[in-house]
Amino acid sequence: MSNAAGGEPGKAPTLMTMTIEFHRHRADRPWTREDVRDLPEGFRYEIEDGNLIVMNSPSPQHQYVALQVMRLLNDAAEAAGVDLVAVGPVDVATPSERGGYRSPDIALIPGELTEGGYDLLMGDDVLLAVEVTGKDAITRDTITKPLVYARLGIPYYWVVRIDGPEPVVTVYRRVGGRYEEMVTVPAGESVTITEPFPITIEPARLVRRRR
């Protein structure tokens, strides 16, 4: 297996992606989640139609922003009195002939699913999927994954872009089997959406500021 790690010593790692073709690495059968459990730690893995996708672990900035988004969603859900919890990353099954799963950075799911006994989620379990997107994941998170999540029936999808000088949040809603943009919120603005429940989005509050 090729090494997906990149970056220079002393610099924060960037999120890089590569796909290991099924016919080159597993000629006998497609990759499965059981196979992934035996792979080296330090990477994130997904499976698309039997092919293994390998990604570097997220950068500290990526993880910080994801944590803030989870806090935002959990606080808003509690204020709205709904039993929904933001967690991530989690594996969501992508049914296909050779099987697979995707791992959104954040998934908004019923609270009961956090009580144990659940490992692989289904699309019906997820109300909202969120991807925190750096420079190396723009195509994947804005083109590929929306198609996958929409096909799974996930009603809402957010893209939190951190590839520019300031974060930008775009909110999508599933309509007729595909996502349509509801609103894009740049840093410096504050927008309150009402779906799936009232949430005030302030992108500037998602990143750490020097004191």
Query: Structure tokens of 150?
Result: 């929409």
Residue 24 has pLDDT above 80, yes or no: no
Under 8 Å between Cβ of 19 and 63: no
- 98 or 54, which is more confident: 54
Cβ count near 62 (within 10 Å): 21
Q: CA distances (Å), 147 to each of 10, 46, 80, 102, 135, in order? A: 36, 15, 29, 12, 20
Place of tokens 């594996």: 91
pLDDT at 3 over 80: no
pLDDT in tens, 138-174: 998 999 999 999 999 999 999 999 999 999 999 999 9
The predicted model gives 109-128 an average pLDDT of 92
Question: How many other C-beta atoms can be found within 10 angstroms of the C-beta atom of residue 40?
Answer: 9
Least confident of 3-7, 105-109, 116-120, 170-174: 3-7
The per-residue pLDDT for range 42-92, each reduced to its tens digit, is 888 998 888 888 888 889 999 999 999 999 999 999 999 999 999 999 999
Q: Which pLDDT score is estimated for 30?
A: 83
Give mean pLDDT, residues 193-198. 97
Task: Between 33 and 8, name the one with better pLDDT.
Answer: 33
pLDDT at 41 over 90: no
> In the chain, helix, strand, coil percent, each to 5?
25, 30, 40
Grouping H, G, I as helix, E, B as strand and the rest as coil, residue 77 is helix
